[in-house]
Structure formats: C-alpha cells, structure tokens
Structure 1
C-alpha cells in the first residue's frame, strides 16, 4: 500500500508579524477570511491585516449578518481609537454574500457606499451562507490563479499515485518532512479559508458549519472563535500539526466525523491513540493535552482536530 502523503498544519496566522519561525515567511498560502454572524474574535484584526507583510488575504467576505458583527464589534477591538467610522472604513469587506435576511439596512447601505460588492442569494435556500461564501472564494481564487496554472503542476512521472493530496501545505516543509524531490502542488491547493465567528450561538448553526468542513473536504478551512479552532484532518493524508504554544493549547481533541474510526494513531499527546477505535457512543478523544511542539495523526476516518486558543493579556 502506498504511503500517505504528509499534510502539515500550522496556526501561524494567529502570530503577529514578524514571524519568529522563518519557514513561515516563505509560505505560499493564499488566505481568505469569512466573517459569520457571531461575536467577532478578539484577534480578527490580526487575521485581516496579517498578510500585509507575508501572505495577504486575497479576499475578505461577510456572510450576511456577519456584516453586522464587523460593523458593531470591530471598533470595540480598538479601545484607544475614538473614530469608529474610520475603523469601519479601514476594515471594509470586499464582499457581502448571503440571502440578506439578517444584515441591517444601515449596515448594508454603509458598506455598499464604500464599494463593497453585494451578492444577494435569497433565491438559494438549500445552502448556508457559509457554504455560499466558500463557493465564492474557491471560484475567485481559481480565476485569479488561472494565468499561473502552467507553472504549478504535477512534478512527477506518476501523478495518479498522488491524487487525493489536498488542503494547505507549506511546500518547503512538505519536501523536507516527506523527503520528496517532487510533489503535487496545484495553485488551488494553497488556499486556506479562515472563518471567524464560526462557533458559539445556536448548536444547529455550529453543526452546519462543521458539516461544511466535510462538504468542502478538499479545501483547508479553519473554524475560529475566541476559545478554539476546528479543522478537518482528511483520512487520505497523514498529518503533522506544528503547535504554536504561545497562542494555542494545551487542550485539544480528535473527533471522528462522518464515520467511526477503526484505527487512529497519534504522537505528541498526553493520551496518545495507538491503533485505537473511536466512535460516538464509545471512545472519543476529547479533553486531551498536547505534550510538545508537534502532534502527528494518522487515521482511517476523517477526524476533526480542535485545540484551545489562549486568552492574551
């Protein structure tokens, strides 16, 4: 059986520039930011501005009522600035997209006057606003990258053996850790979508957001709140998670999603899994603790990885 390709993960988007880890500064990641209709995380300005020096967010969207949260909460994150309008202008979304049943008229008018694109999908009631925004981002980034496709391609004589390689990877780290001379590196696979305000509030909304991770399993999507992050670890890869201990941990969890796990193995946790079965109604690895700088995960089922985020003084 062919060895699964390595997928590396790092929450460096939570670190203020300049990065302390030089490898991150050359990351080819394309970030996009989506804001949902929950309280804006305290680190939202960092997510918004983080790319100015290194990996700029190509696009920033509000999902319908997420525009209300941006309008109301962003000025609160700058208590030393007394001009809320200037803050709102500085943090103007590129797009507001959704069925437009939650956004306030004054907020819609404010951002429209600033030039924000308004995309009304009220005719589509079969998908969530987050689903609509992710589809928009994927199409947008794909269109942006089309001129460069010829330069980003399979650099291997056997591309079929590499299929299934998805999500965010740092190319330099992949080559180093997997000891490969060539790798799969399509431009679309560099995309990382950060979703702020994805957790909290109604449980059915939270589960809808988790379901969106599974629906778009070939795109790296990270759900964020003030308290934690959640992302999907596809079973088609083995995973190496680089812990940013200054901003995340130590509490973490691995939860099977979509199907029970017949075999999951980890290193780097206080209670490691060793060819362990996990399922709802049985064992699920919650309230675990990271033990070091790197956690490795291998499973025969897709898993949700969650880790706590530290409250900064």
Structure 2
C-alpha cells in the first residue's frame, strides 16, 4: 500500500488556491498541526506568514518568487492530470481530520469537483471551510451539538436514503438524489441532531459558526467509510 506524504496525529490544514479573504486562515492555523498547500494554495499560507510543511500537486500554479521561499524538499510533485490537486493532497494525507480552506467560493466547477473528491476519498475525514458554509461528507453516523434554528442542509451526491433525529423536517422514507429530491434548508429543531446514512453519498452543509460542532461530530463518529479498492 502506498505511503502517505503527510502523517499527523493532529488535524491538518490544507489550503487550496481559491478565494480566501484576508485573515481567513488565522482561526484555522490555531486549531491545526501541519499545514499543507495544494499547489498554488502555498501563496495564501505565505501571505499569512506560514511556510507550508508540504506542497502537493502538479505545480502549475506557483510563481517562481513564491516557490523560492519554500525548501525544495517540501515539494511533492504529482504530474498526472486525471485528478485535481485537492484529490492529490487528500489521498496523501494521513490524519484524524483535514480542514480544507480555499476550495469553496469563486468558481462553482471547482467547488463541485472538491465535493466529488469528498465522496471519492470517503475514508479521509475532511471539512471544507468557506466564508458562508462548512461542508463534510456524512459518516455512517454523525452526532451534532447545534442550536435550534441552525441551518442543516443535506445534499445527496447519488441516490440515497437517510435517517435523522432533532431536525425540523424528518428524513425517514425519503428518496434523495442530486437530480431529484435534495435536503437543503432543513434546520435543527433541538440542540442535538443525529444523521445516519448507508453509503458515502450525502454532504452535510452547515453555517461557519457550526465548525466546532462538525469537527467534534466527525472526530467522535463511531465508524468511518472504508478506503476505495
């Protein structure tokens, strides 16, 4: 089995090349260990005063000036073009949790590609953090300590059913599919919400204020999806 490039017992910050408001990385830097850049995401880390512990990707987005500020041994070039830099990074990080910044916002095609990778790498627990949302793939069982009225959107990436407690609108008996019924704009009806799904096809989308709850939920989920063969 291939050895991952980055190993950590702490959550890892992964930064992409998408839009990041000034100061957006500061709260994430405070809660993570290693900092990894997906190719051009190194620029945002350098702007924040942080030298990436690793840069992974096809290296087509880094300027020569930025590249010169990072030790050469921290570069891990993967030239194949059949996957995104986010995928190249996520499959090469072994950690209890990855917080991904710079993958939401600006371009919808990049966002959709990133969310597809969440499903493809279902064994890697990852939260995409944006200005307006935090997004993760639901594990088989997910418990969230939220607040009544908190937005809890569920978006299926393939046909799937789900079960849940603590939500304003029940999930049981509904057939979800990306081309048909989706579960956006549901909300917490209680302080404790639980969601169960039978396959790695459901995204959970919460407001940024719920990042702590989503992080705890993923880290304490009793089981996770197996790696793809």
User: Where does the alignment leave 5 or more consecutive residues of structure 2 unmatched?
Assistant: 1-8, 211-229
Deviation, structure 1 residue 107:
1.0
Match for residue 130 of structure 2? 225
**1:48 corresponds to:** 29
The answer (yes or no) to whether the contact 1:93–1:116 under 8 Å persists in 2 is no
* 1:181 counterpart residue number: none
Answer yes or no: is the 8 Å Cα contact 1:230–1:305 preserved in 2. Answer: yes
TM-score with structure 2 setting the length: 0.78
Q: Distance in 2 between matches of 1:63 and 1:271?
A: 38
Shift of 1:43: 4.4
Paired residues for 1:76-115 under 5 Å:
88=49, 91-112=50-71
Contact 1:227/1:310, CA 8 A, preserved across alignment: no
CA shift at 1:104, angstroms?
Answer: 1.4
Is 2:143–2:193's contact at 8 Å kept on the other side of the alignment?
yes
Tell me how far apart the structure 2 counterparts of residues 104 and 66 of structure 1 sit (CA, whole Å): 11
Paired residues of 1:254 and 1:305 also in contact (CA < 8 A): yes
Contact 1:94/1:116 (<8 A) preserved? no
Q: Tell me the TM-score normalized by structure 1.
A: 0.58
Give the gaps of 5 or more residues in structure 1.
Answer: 1-28, 52-56, 75-87, 142-190
1:171-216 alpha-carbon deviations (Å, 9 max, x no partner): xxxxxxxxxxxxxxxxxxxx11111111112222111111111111
Choose which of 84, 99, 103 in structure 2 pairs with 1:194: 99
Q: How does 1:256-267 map to 2 (within 5 A)?
A: 256-257=156-157, 259-261=158-160, 263-267=161-165
* Alignment check: 8 A CA contact 1:92 1:116 kept: no
Residue in 2 aligned with 1:295? 193
Measured in 1, the distance between the counterparts of 2:24 and 2:165 equals 29
Compute the displacement of 1:297 (Å): 1.0
Give the Cα separation in 2 of the matches to 1:215 and 1:293: 31
Report whether the alignment pairs 1:120 with 2:95.
no
Query: Per the alignment, in what secondary structure is the counterpart of residue 115 of structure 2?
Result: helix
Aligned residues: 200
Indicate the residue corresponding to 1:241 in structure 2: 144
Segment drifting more, 223-232 vs 294-303: 294-303
The equivalent residue for 1:39 is 19
- Tell me which protein shows more helix as a share of its residues: 1
**1-structure distance, mates of 2:159, 2:144:** 22
Kindly state the Cα deviation for residue 111 of structure 1 after the two structures are TM-superposed: 2.5
* Cα distance in 2 between the residues matched to 1:203 and 1:120: 26
Inter-partner Cα distance in structure 2 for 1:206 and 1:224: 11
Contact kept? 1:269, 1:289, Cα under 8 Å? yes
Supply the distance in 1 between the matched residues of 2:123 and 2:129 (Cα, whole angstroms): 19
Write the mapping of 1:125-136 to structure 2, written as runs, cut at 5 A: 125-136=81-92
CA distance in 2, matches of 1:133, 1:300: 26
